[in-house]
Amino acid sequence: MECMLKAENVSLRFGSLEILNSISCVVAKGEFLSIVGPNGCGKTTFLHILNRLLVPSAGSVSGTAKSSLVFQDNLLFPWMTILENVMVCPLNEGSEKLSAHHIAHSLLKELHLDDFEAYFPFQLSGGMKQKVGIARALAANAKILLMDEPFASLDYLTRRKMHDFLLDIHKRNNLTILFVTQDIDEVITLSDRVMVFSERPARVIETLNLAKDYKQETVSGNCLSSAQAKKRLLHIMEGRKG
């Protein structure tokens, strides 16, 4: 499997405050890797290091593919239309305006948002804003999406629809995704693999491989079925053995 992103013994310290403690992972092309852990343990900080927004105190991050962050707050520019918001990334990459327009329009059409190109962010639902945020990341030609609890503020039904949407574009575009969440059901629905972080300073307690077909409650090799994975994750996160 082609390696898209590699973190080796990544640690981060601000003065006497230790945030991350020797975190390592290898993320394969097309993989969907989720990260769970207690609030404030450093999950978001780790994403920022992977995106080269922060420099680790020790360790290294390698990988040549372009990555882009998708936040819980979509961070759309309220004074711009949806089309203009998506055009921002290719324009910042040096594309001519006509080319940026074509890229943005094509992506919005692919994501079934082309009817809303002239709308402003305040006119869209929460789920649609998140779709635009993902479109903007794809417009930057990102091959890796680093997603920081992007659906946490959405209601249950909207979140379910966004799961289907994300899995669809993940498959169609062969994207590599790292996904921070607190929701174990979300992890099981979306992920190929999950890393569990400890309390701060964060270290990797355990990494689980999840079965692809959750309708079959069976174990395949080292993969866990959905019921087993949920039970195991609850045990780990509640600090229990077994």
What is the predicted pLDDT for the residue at 74?
72
- In whole angstroms, give the CA distance from residue 134 to residue 147: 9
The pair phi, psi for residue 200, each rounded to 5°, is: -65, 135
**Tokens standing for residue 241:** 């053995």
What is the predicted pLDDT for the residue at 222?
66
Q: Is 98 helix (H, G, I), strand (E, B) or coil?
A: helix
Residue 221 has pLDDT above 80, yes or no: no
Q: pTM for this structure?
A: 0.86
- In whole angstroms, give the CA distance from residue 171 to residue 166: 9
Residue 223 has pLDDT above 80, yes or no: no
Estimate the crossing angle of helix 126-139 against helix 156-173, to 10 degrees: 20
- In whole angstroms, give the CA distance from residue 136 to residue 87: 7
Give the confidence band of 90 by pLDDT, cuts at 50, 70, 90: confident
Give the confidence band of 235 by pLDDT, cuts at 50, 70, 90: confident
What is the predicted pLDDT for the residue at 213?
52
Instruction: Using alpha carbons, select from 148, 187, 128, 181 the residue that is nearest to residue 69.
Output: 148
**Tokens standing for residue 218:** 């069976």
* Residues 6 or more apart whose Cβ sits within 8 Å of residue 213: none
Query: What is the DSSP annotation of 49-64?
Result: HHTTSS--SEEEEE--
| Span 89-117, average pLDDT | 88
**Tokens standing for residue 233:** 């994750």
- In whole angstroms, give the CA distance from residue 53 to residue 55: 7
What is the predicted pLDDT for the residue at 211?
65
- In whole angstroms, give the CA distance from residue 205 to residue 203: 6
CB of 237 within 8 A of CB of 196? yes
* Residues 6 or more apart whose Cβ sits within 8 Å of residue 185: 230
| Span 149-175, average pLDDT | 89
Residue count of the chain: 242
Give the confidence band of 241 by pLDDT, cuts at 50, 70, 90: very low
- In whole angstroms, give the CA distance from residue 120 to residue 79: 7
Residue 218 has pLDDT above 80, yes or no: no
User: Per CATH, which fold does 1-65+145-242 belong to?
Assistant: Rossmann fold (3.40.50)
pLDDT 10s digits, 56-72: 999 999 987 889 999 88
Q: Which of 20-29, 152-161, 218-227 has the lowest mean pLDDT?
A: 218-227
pLDDT 10s digits, 46-58: 999 999 999 999 9
Q: Say which amino acid occupies 186.
A: E
Domain chopping of the chain, boundaries: 1-65+145-242, 74-142
Give the confidence band of 240 by pLDDT, cuts at 50, 70, 90: very low
